Amino acid sequence: MKFSIVVAAYNVADYLSECITSLANQKFQASDYEILIIDDGSTDGVTGELCDKLASKYKMVRTIHQDNGGLSAARNTGIKHSKGEFILFVDGDDFWSNLEFLDNLSRNIDTYKSDVVIFSYDKYYGKDESARIDFNSVPESGNIEENVIDLVRNSVLTAPAWNKCIRRNLFVEETLDFPVGFLSEDCLYCSYLLKLTAKYSILNIESYKYRQNRIGSITNVVKEKNVYDILKSIDIGLTNIGECKNNVRKAINIYFAISYISVLPYVSQYISNSEIMYLLKKYKYLLKFSNEIKNSSFNLTGKITRLLGLRLSIILLPKLLRIYKTM
């Protein structure tokens, strides 16, 4: 079996049928891929039953019910039960728009012998509005170690797990997994990919629809725990970084500089949290890597913080960025 698609589902009954149908109707040999729906202890009284109905409807679909453990726990369960040579992750409120996506992905893997395939996606605001994210700024395939700095500084190798197809051996042999108990879990997970992956390829093709502004989505609210967990991910991810080769070490610093800068506009309401402030001060040095980041918003935020200082920037950044976005 070539592909295992792990779908984490928690109280997403309004979107799950569209998600699973888009995966199950792929123009790809049905016996060569599986869809694992992990019902993560849904409490809406509907999602769990719907998972079972979808498993009955499509022969490549399996449902696993578990107590609520969070997104990481659900994905780890899917990995544990997967049979495919490659693993993909889809959030239960997202979907694929291209019925030939798996076929294109398979041919990409066969051509480039990749360990990880990074594919483009659309920020989906509704049927008539979306914003495409492509990755045309780097070579379409290559050795991670040789290209890692460009992959990170151009925001190609970034945190989301759902726009990557990963060779299963990385999970089995390298014990790659998702950190349980963390919000913003993809931040630390992807940093491990930087260290473990040998070959990559890019697939710029329309398919993944990343749903925006869904009521109840955990990505719509930046909570105190989100901020702390990202900073703690930086703390863990930079442990033993000295053992990495120079270019990988630099890439990881740039990667976590992006993570560090991403939380700065949201910290002002949490300055009374001593652990958050300690980690912010400890990793303030990451700001010097902001000049390496091609994304203009992150680059500007880093420059402002270096100019004004950390504490003043924390207070002013929310207002300054709102002004910047209206220009």
The model's pLDDT over 137-190, given as tens digits with 9 standing for 90+, comes to 999 999 999 999 999 999 999 999 999 999 999 999 988 999 999 988 999 999
- pLDDT reading at 321 higher than 70: no
Which pLDDT value is given to residue 318? 84
Q: For residues 238 and 240, what is the distance between their CA atoms, to the nearest angstrom?
A: 6
Q: Could you read off the pLDDT of 23-62 as tens digits, one per residue?
A: 999 999 999 999 999 999 999 999 999 999 999 999 999 9
Taking the model in full, what pTM does it have? 0.93
- Which domains, and CATH codes, for the chain? 3-219 (3.90.550.10), 222-326 (no CATH)
Closest CA to 35 of 48, 17, 23, 53: 23
Give the C-alpha separation, 66 to 53, whole Å: 17
SS3 136: coil
- Average pLDDT of the residues in 230-248: 95
pLDDT at 76: 98
Confidence of residue 312 (pLDDT cuts 50, 70, 90): very high
pLDDT computed for residue 219 by the predictor: 52
d(CA 166, CA 169): 8
pLDDT confidence of residue 327: 60
Residue 214: the pLDDT is: 64
- Separation between Cα atoms, residue 264 and residue 304, nearest integer Å: 11
Query: In whole numbers, what is the pLDDT of the chain averaged over residues?
Result: 94
Contacts of the segment 244-250: beta carbons below 8 A, 24+ positions apart: 244/195, 245/145, 247/145, 247/146, 247/148, 247/149, 248/145, 248/148, 248/194, 248/195, 250/149, 250/289, 250/292
